[in-house]
């Protein structure tokens, strides 16, 4: 094979990859309006991609931050002087990942069909309505007055309810669960996430204790020797 | 604008620093400076300049004559005070007397007018002295009403202490006849109706007509109990235990005050702590004729005194408990908190003006649980300390007066003057939200594009969403009117041009299709 052909092969592979990414992003539109069908195909027909899912997750974090920073003060009560953008983003990202992890750890024991990758993709796609309603709302909040707050709050709750509903259907389709079982496992997932947080905290506190023990041991010996 | 504000704030900070240094160096007036503060939008404490300063402390032994038993005139467990004009009535309950003092307008000093210990009765009333009097009130005509607690009556005397009327236990089925009639607090309205709080009467304020007939109750408290009590009582007690316990009953009011418009302000100190912040407890109420609470609460938190406290009921723990309340000009009301010996001022909208005072033994502070009564003479506040037996007189500082003036000017429709005064308040306290709102409201009256923008800035600084929204709506209207031209152009560009292009494309396609057909033929 000639060098040019190899190159063109690589180029076409890149192009194909890019096209697949674009398509999987575009597929979000179908998912949010046809959740049952959409989530099934997303995972089982490989219509979704991790790259697209991560895009939505990043957009979700950006939305949260932008909302805090640029929503008109009539509609948000954030002490802006104390807001740390990174902290805010992490405060959503970490629980999100822990919840995904907790869900995977539990459902994998109770014949859930979804792998961690599938759960991650489904969860990220479920965030799409949140992003695409709340981002414009940030702008809208700057052109409406406090009297017209009903408009704002209704759209706000629509975005949240929609996303939560998608999380529910997403998990149902990914694991091939019944609605009742999904609901049960949603509750267990939250409990599981709390246990994970607890274990992590215990681990780190023990680790710091052990470290400080060795450090003080070293200091003691160093002090005796000199 | 922002940079300017920042500069201003910095200058102010430097000014404050200089001021505080110089005041520390300046000769003290001999009284402890009280610790004044306010709560900001985030419910954080913001220190503020003193709104009030102590000008005088009155001790019984200095003003009252030596008593019959040879003791000096020290007050013994005084319960209450009443102010009318320049006259101050002090109920010296432990000594069974009422002291009438008057204040010299020029010097501001109090002097004794008379000691009311007994009255003359022509109708054969046997007891003409008082036993543990608890409250006094004086009507416009100068008639004196005294709650004579242990004698179980209310007596009405004319100004020369001749008995006019005695009110005793109401002979009515709604009044529990097994109960003694122990009047604790009383107020009189302009028509001579008497409203009283009696011990163990939990149906509200007892109301008597001007001729002394009992006509019912006003504004009963709601029954309040904690969830814990409820669960314990309902599920874990036997029937016998339950019968022995008291049933849940509405609580009694603690104190009442009648403002110039004959509305009764009532305070309530028995509630569960958690009811406070959600405004279920409503420790301060303004009762209308039907007994409904019509107190206006437009702040982010209800008027409950301190917003944070440690739990419990020991010294310095627990929520603020308003044992007395008084109402100044423009419906500004001031409550006296027994828990921490603090005084809280609120404007007619329920927005806190200032809070100051503390427990302690220096002048301007009050003994632990000692503060019992509060009244005002003009803008001066008088606080009665039951344990120490003294009356502390507070006078507003320049800062305190400016706040009153600014509020007064606004309610009299002098908006510019009000704004000018709020500016002066801001010079002294840059954390004063009410001043920002006041200036913003005055700016809105100018009704120009620029003034709305500036007003919005001020409202934003005070986190006042309501007023900001109003200013914003007006600003938006003018903005749209000014910019409608290019907005229409943009609209045309966005909507019409694609339509036209689509049409052109369509025609082109048709033509092409036609030509193709022609070729095919």
Q: What is the pLDDT of residue B6?
A: 57
Structural domain containing residue B135: 31-396
B234 assigned to some structural domain: yes
- With beta carbons under 8 A apart, name residues in chain B contacting A73: 460, 463, 465, 468
B23 assigned to some structural domain: no
Across the interface, of B42, B469, B476, the residue whose CB is closest to A74 is B469
B463 assigned to some structural domain: no
B482 assigned to some structural domain: no
Angle (CA) B225-B229-B230 rounded to 5° is 80
For residue B286, what is the domain's CATH number?
2.120.10.30
Chain A contact for B2, CB < 8 A?
Answer: no
Tokens 């799409």 appear where?
A128
Nearest Cα to B108, choosing from B362, B380, B374? B380
Contacts of B470 (CB under 8 A, 6+ apart): A145, A146, A147, B444
Nearest Cα to B398, choosing from B51, B37, B48, B17? B51
CA-nearest residue to B43 within chain A is A79
Residues A108-135: what's their mean pLDDT? 92
The domain tally of chain B equals 1
Residues of chain B with pLDDT > 90, as a percent, come to 47
Across the interface, of A79, A143, A146, the residue whose CB is closest to B465 is A146
Chain A contact for B473, CB < 8 A?
Answer: yes
B383 assigned to some structural domain: yes
B12 assigned to some structural domain: no
B78-105 exposure pattern, b = at least 16 Cβ within 10 A, e = fewer: bbbbbbbeebbbbbbbebbbbbbbebee
**Averaged confidence pLDDT in chain B:** 86
Answer yes or no: is pLDDT of B15 > 80. no
Distance between A225 CA and the closest CA of chain B, angstroms: 51
pLDDT tens sequence across B219-265: 877 666 667 777 877 788 777 777 766 666 677 888 999 988 889 99
B448 sits in which H/E element: none
Chain A contact for B470, CB < 8 A?
Answer: yes
Indicate yes or no: CB of A146 within 8 angstroms of CB of B476: no
Residues A197-213: what's their mean pLDDT? 96
Say what the ipTM of the complex is: 0.76
Residues A92-97: what's their mean pLDDT? 94
B458 assigned to some structural domain: no
- With beta carbons under 8 A apart, name residues in chain B contacting A145: 469-470, 472-473, 476
Q: What confidence category does residue B2 fall into, taking pLDDT thresholds of 50, 70 and 90? A: very low
- With beta carbons under 8 A apart, name residues in chain B contacting A74: 465, 468-469, 472
Across the interface, of A74, A79, A143, the residue whose CB is closest to B465 is A74
Chain A contact for B181, CB < 8 A?
Answer: no
Indicate yes or no: CB of B470 within 8 angstroms of CB of A145: yes
Answer yes or no: is pLDDT of B23 > 60. no
Answer yes or no: is pLDDT of B469 > 50. yes
B495 assigned to some structural domain: no
pTM for this predicted structure: 0.78
Which of A73, A74, A150 to probe the B interface (max B CBs under 10 A)?
A74
Burial class (CB in 10 A: 0-12, 13-18, 19+), B220: middle
């Amino acid at each position: 094979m000639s060098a040019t052909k190899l190159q063109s092969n690589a180029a076409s592979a890149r192009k194909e990859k890019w096209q697949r990414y674009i398509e999987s992003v575009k597929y979000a539109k179908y998912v949010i309006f046809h959740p049952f069908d959409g989530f099934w195909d997303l995972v089982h027909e490989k219509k979704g991609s991790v790259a697209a899912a991560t895009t939505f997750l990043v957009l979700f974090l950006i939305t949260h931050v932008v909302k805090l920073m640029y929503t008109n003060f009539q509609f948000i009560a954030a002490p802006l002087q104390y807001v740390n953008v990174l902290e805010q983003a992490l405060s959503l990202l970490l629980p999100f990942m822990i919840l995904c992890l907790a869900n995977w750890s539990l459902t994998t024991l109770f014949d859930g069909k979804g792998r961690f990758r599938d759960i991650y993709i489904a969860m990220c796609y479920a965030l799409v309505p949140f992003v695409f309603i709340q981002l414009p709302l940030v702008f809208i909040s700057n052109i409406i007055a406090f009297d017209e707050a009903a408009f704002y709050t209704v759209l706000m709750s629509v975005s949240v309810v929609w996303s939560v509903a998608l999380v529910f259907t997403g998990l149902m389709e990914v694991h091939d669960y019944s609605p009742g079982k999904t609901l049960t496992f949603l509750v267990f997932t939250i409990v599981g996430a709390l246990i994970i947080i607890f274990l992590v905290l215990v681990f780190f506190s023990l680790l710091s204790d052990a470290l400080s023990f060795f450090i003080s041991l070293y200091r003691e010996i160093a002090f005796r020797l000199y | 604008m922002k940079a300017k504000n920042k500069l201003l704030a910095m200058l102010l900070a430097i000014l404050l620093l200089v001021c505080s240094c110089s005041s520390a160096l300046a000769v003290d007036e001999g009284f402890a400076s009280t610790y004044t503060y306010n709560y900001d939008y985030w419910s954080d404490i913001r220190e503020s300049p003193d709104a009030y300063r102590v000008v005088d402390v009155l001790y019984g032994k200095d003003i009252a004559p030596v008593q019959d038993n040879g003791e000096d005139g020290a007050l013994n467990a005084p319960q209450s005070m009443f102010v009318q004009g320049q006259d101050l009535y002090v109920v010296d309950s432990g000594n069974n007397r009422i002291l009438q003092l008057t204040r010299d307008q020029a010097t501001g000093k109090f002097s004794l007018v008379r000691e009311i210990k007994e009255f003359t009765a022509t109708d054969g009333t046997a007891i003409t002295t008082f036993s543990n009097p608890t409250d006094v009130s004086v009507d416009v005509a100068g008639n004196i009403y005294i709650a004579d607690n242990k004698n179980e009556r209310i007596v009405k005397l004319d100004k020369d202490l001749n008995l006019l009327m005695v009110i005793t236990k109401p002979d009515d089925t709604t009044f529990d006849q097994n109960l003694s009639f122990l009047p604790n607090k009383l107020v009189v309205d302009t028509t001579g109706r008497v409203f009283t709080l009696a011990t163990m009467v939990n149906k509200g304020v007892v109301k008597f007509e001007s001729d002394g007939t009992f006509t019912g109750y006003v504004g009963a408290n709601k029954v309040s109990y904690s969830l814990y009590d409820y669960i314990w009582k309902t599920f874990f007690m036997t029937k016998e235990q339950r019968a022995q316990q008291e049933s849940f009953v509405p609580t009694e009011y603690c104190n009442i005050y009648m403002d110039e418009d004959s509305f009764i302000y009532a305070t309530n100190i028995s509630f569960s702590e958690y009811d406070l912040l959600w405004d279920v407890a409503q420790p301060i109420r303004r009762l209308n004729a039907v007994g409904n609470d019509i107190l206006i609460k437009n702040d982010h938190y209800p008027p409950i005194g301190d917003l944070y406290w440690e739990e419990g009921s020991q010294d310095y723990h627990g929520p603020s408990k308003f044992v007395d309340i008084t109402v100044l000009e423009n419906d500004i009301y001031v409550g006296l908190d027994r828990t921490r010996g603090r005084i809280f001022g609120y404007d007619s909208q329920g927005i806190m003006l200032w809070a100051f005072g503390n427990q302690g033994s220096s002048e301007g502070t009050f003994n632990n649980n000692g503060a019992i009564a509060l009244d005002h003479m003009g803008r001066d506040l008088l606080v009665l300390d039951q344990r120490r037996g003294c009356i502390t007189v507070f006078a507003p500082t320049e800062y305190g007066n400016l706040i009153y003036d600014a509020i007064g000017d606004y309610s009299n429709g002098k908006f510019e003057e009000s704004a000018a005064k709020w500016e002066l308040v801001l010079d002294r306290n840059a954390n004063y939200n009410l001043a920002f709102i006041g200036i913003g409201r005055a700016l809105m009256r100018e009704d120009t594009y620029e003034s709305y923008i500036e007003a919005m800035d001020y409202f934003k600084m005070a986190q006042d969403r309501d007023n900001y929204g109003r200013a914003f709506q007006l600003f938006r209207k003018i903005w749209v009117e000014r910019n409608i031209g290019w907005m229409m152009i943009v609209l045309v560009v966005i909507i019409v041009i694609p339509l036209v292009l689509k049409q052109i494309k369509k025609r082109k396609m048709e033509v092409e299709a036609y030509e193709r057909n022609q070729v095919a033929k």
